[in-house]
Amino acid sequence: MGGSGVAQPRALRLALFGDGAWAADTLRRLHGGAHRVAVAVLRERPSDGTLGDACARLGVPVLQPANASAPEFLAQLRAYAPELLLSVSYNQILRRTALDCAPLGAVNFHAGTLPFYRGRNVINWAIINGESEIGLTSHYVDEGIDTGDIIIQRSLPIGWTDTYGEVLARVVAALPGLAVDTVHAIADGSATRCRQAHLPGTYFGGREDGDEWLDWSDTSEHLHNKIRAITRPAPGARTMLGASELVIWRAYYDPAWPRYIATPGQVVGRQPGRGVLVKTGDSTLLVQETQGVGEEPGVPAWRIGTRLGVDVVGALRAVQARLSALEQRRP
């Protein structure tokens, strides 16, 4: 008898729902291996052209529905006869009618530790919460959001000074390997299922206008985490310098720094070439890179005593003065 006796996973026909670099990298890894991506389903408004470009180079057909539950789209999807659906940063919920299009169901790849980091913008929230690692999870899709049975869950480190861009790059690099291992496990029948139903779960929402503003009465650790969580390629943390909006791209905090009471938001020290020390609610924060409106990013060198943030008392006095002036103009 020939052969090693080890069963090889059968090749699966896949439909990949996705967006961005991590979906494009996953497509390249899967389509060039034992399996075949029969069709890719793109967001109606993709975040960039990476997945579409990868499909064009590999000759993978593309669907781009406005509604992934529409009967016309589902008929098109069934025509490709996918055995398994994969979701990598797709922005529509796959309803039961879509899940039933593949006999093996659907798998989502989620950059978060389930069940504790369900929802959106999970990388940002993990950094904001000061986590030392982030999960990378493959799970079956059910009719909830990030609630399906877990297949594989891995973790990646988050360092004290790691930024959103650095952690995102780590996740993007690791996800295709997780996808390949997950699909192989499903194909050869070795995939496990760990139910989430018996575990408490937490959801995180998308970014809202105003989330980027800093409150200098917060702790240094919280401010440090927030700034690195929403720095490039995210919009950046915001504060006010006088009457102008200011982006803070980079800052640093050492937990060994002394704690003391003073005016939050005030510059209390300077480190030439490195930045300025700003008083927070409990200690200080070294602000290292900022950008004003219409300016290039740079290292701040403000004088000691400069105030950051909204001057609430000054703003109230200005409103009172304007009201008084209006009152005096009344006949």
Query: Domain locations in the chain?
Result: 13-204, 220-310
What DSSP string runs through 81-108?
A: --SEEEEES--S---HHHHTTSTT-EEE
pLDDT at residue 328, rounded to an integer = 77
**Helix 20-31 and helix 164-188, axial crossing angle in degrees, nearest 10:** 30
pLDDT band at 172 (very low <50, low <70, confident <90, very high): very high
Say if residue 249's pLDDT is above 70.
yes
Could you confirm whether domain 220-310 is CATH 3.10.25.10? yes
pLDDT band at 1 (very low <50, low <70, confident <90, very high): very low
When pLDDT is cut at 50, 70 and 90, the band that residue 127 belongs to is very high
| Contact between 247 and 212 (Cβ < 8 Å) | no
- C-alpha torsion angle, residues 53, 56, 60, 66 (rounded to 10): 60
Average pLDDT estimate for 261-288 = 97
List 62's β-bridge partners, or say none: 40
Whole-number pLDDT of residue 320: 74
Give residues with Cβ within 8 angstroms of 240, minimum separation 6: 246, 308, 309, 310
CATH class of 13-204: alpha beta
> Is the pLDDT assigned to residue 7 strictly greater than 60?
no
Q: Give the model's pLDDT for residue 315.
A: 59
pLDDT given for residue 226 in this prediction: 98
Tell me the one-letter amino acid at 169.
A
pLDDT above 50: residue 3 = no
9 secondary structure, DSSP code? P
Q: How confident is the model at residue 32 (pLDDT cuts 50, 70, 90)?
A: confident
Mean pLDDT of 19-27: 97
Q: Which residue type is seen at 160?
A: W
Compute the distance between CA of residue 153 and CA of residue 150 in angstroms, rounded to an integer: 7
Give the pLDDT score at 101: 98
Q: Mean per-residue pLDDT for 42-51?
A: 97
Is residue 311 packed enough to be buried (19+ CB in 10 Å), middle (13-18) or exposed (0-12)? middle
Q: What is the DSSP string of 274-318?
A: TEEEEE-SSSEEEEEEEEETTS--B---PPTT-BBS--HHHHHHH
